[in-house]
Amino acid sequence: MAQGSNKSSPFRDAFAALWHEPALLVAELTWRWCFGLSAWILGIISIRLFLDSLIVSPLDQVLLRTTQPILLVEALRHIFRGSLSRFVLEQTVLLLGLLLLWSLAASVGRAATLRRLVAMFKVEPDEDSELMQWNLGPIFVLQLLRAIWSLTAFGTAIALWLYGVAMASSSNAVRAALAMSFGVYGAFLMGVMLNWYLGLAPLFCVRNGVSAKEAVNEAIDFSQDRAGRLSLLGFAFLLLRMVWAGMMWLAFLSPLAWSARIGRPWTALLMGLIAAVYFAGADLLYLARLAAYVALAEERSDISLLKPAAPQPNPTSFSWPVGEAPLPSQ
């Protein structure tokens, strides 16, 4: 499925590639949902183990049965006393494990997807397409940095928001406004920008077989060279994502109108199925956007290959300009 024409549309070619190769979506959903299921299971197990480690005295049981707010708070305070540090330690270890698990799963899944997409959009397919390197090491580094940076940016935004709330409570309006506006916006913007480059860099790890640092540099150059078309692609996929989210939100709420007839268990089951359909569609749009970037990268490569080379002057020959002639020899 080579795209050799300069008039090709990466947006159209991306969906055509997914239609031509439906196994790509199956592979994407498999590794993403397997990780999600594993993360939920590990989270539930960790919380269950923490709750099992708590000691509930007979007095606490009596206070809990009273259902009085003041007595309930006192009982919960006594039950969780001294266990906060252990809970934080357990969740920190779980978070680090999930980061490593995500980086590993994303490295393998993204490398497999990109290898197939690059082979499909390659300008001149040859035998080297089958021998394309996986480059799992640099991709793993990029995915790990991407996950760490996303958590850092999110944590910074939350901390600045809480700081702004604290400053507002202490009647310091200037600091509160700066923290809750410029601070949160700056953390969000920096998180999105670096996450964009780190998410695009694995394409060049697979396509060009470069290291993580070189892939980031090539992603930056690619974004600068194709800033206009990348912006249009981003806006188009963002619009599709918003429309899809709006439609599925209405569908997600619709079973609530039937809950009196079908019962709560069936209502919850229908809402869960609709949520699964939404996430599958969101993964489809993400994969289509990635395919569009691959098509645009190969189109740029095609243009650079087809661009005629500038004529080089021959130092051994010289031609007189038009209208001039050499002086006669004396």
DSSP string, 235-291: HHHHHHHHHHHHHHHHHHHGGGGGHHHH-HHHHHHHHHHHHHHHHHHHHHHHHHHHH
What angle, rounded to 10 degrees, do the helices at 227-253 and 264-306 form?
170
What's the Cα-to-Cα distance from 209 to each of 144, 195, 206, rounded to whole Å? 19, 21, 5
Closest CA to 26 of 116, 99, 142: 116
CA gap 255, 234 in Å, rounded: 33
The first and second tokens of residue 138, run together, are 């640099």
Is 184 inside any structural domain?
yes
pLDDT of residue 279: 93
The first and second tokens of residue 189, run together, are 């913007």
The set of residues, in sequence order, having a beta carbon less than 8 Å from that of 303 and lying 6+ positions away, is 6
Is 75 inside any structural domain?
no
Is 261 inside any structural domain?
no
CA gap 20, 121 in Å, rounded: 12
- Residue 305 DSSP class: H
- Residue 328 DSSP class: P
pLDDT of residue 202: 92
pLDDT of residue 154: 87
CA gap 49, 54 in Å, rounded: 9
pLDDT in tens, the chain (330 residues): 554 444 578 899 999 999 998 999 999 999 999 999 999 999 899 888 888 877 777 877 777 777 777 877 777 787 777 777 888 888 888 889 999 999 999 999 999 899 889 888 876 555 455 556 678 889 999 999 999 988 888 888 888 888 888 888 787 778 888 888 888 888 888 888 888 899 899 999 988 888 889 999 999 999 988 888 999 998 999 999 999 999 999 999 988 888 888 888 888 899 999 999 999 999 999 999 999 999 998 876 554 444 444 444 444 443 444 444 444 444
Is 162 inside any structural domain?
yes
CA gap 234, 14 in Å, rounded: 13
Is 266 inside any structural domain?
no
CA gap 196, 207 in Å, rounded: 18
pLDDT of residue 7: 56
CA gap 136, 291 in Å, rounded: 19
**Residue numbers of the domain that contains 203:** 140-224
Query: Is 86 in contact with 50 (CB distance < 8 Å)?
Result: yes
What's the Cα-to-Cα distance from 319 to each of 74, 141, 316, 326, rounded to whole Å? 99, 57, 11, 10
Counts for the chain of helices (H) and strands (E), in that order: 12, 0
Closest CA to 17 of 28, 29, 3: 3
Is 182 inside any structural domain?
yes
Question: pTM for the complete prediction?
Answer: 0.77
pLDDT of residue 165: 84
Specify the number of domains making up the chain. 1
Is 185 inside any structural domain?
yes
- Residue 129 DSSP class: G
pLDDT of residue 207: 86
Is 131 inside any structural domain?
no
The set of residues, in sequence order, having a beta carbon less than 8 Å from that of 276 and lying 6+ positions away, is none
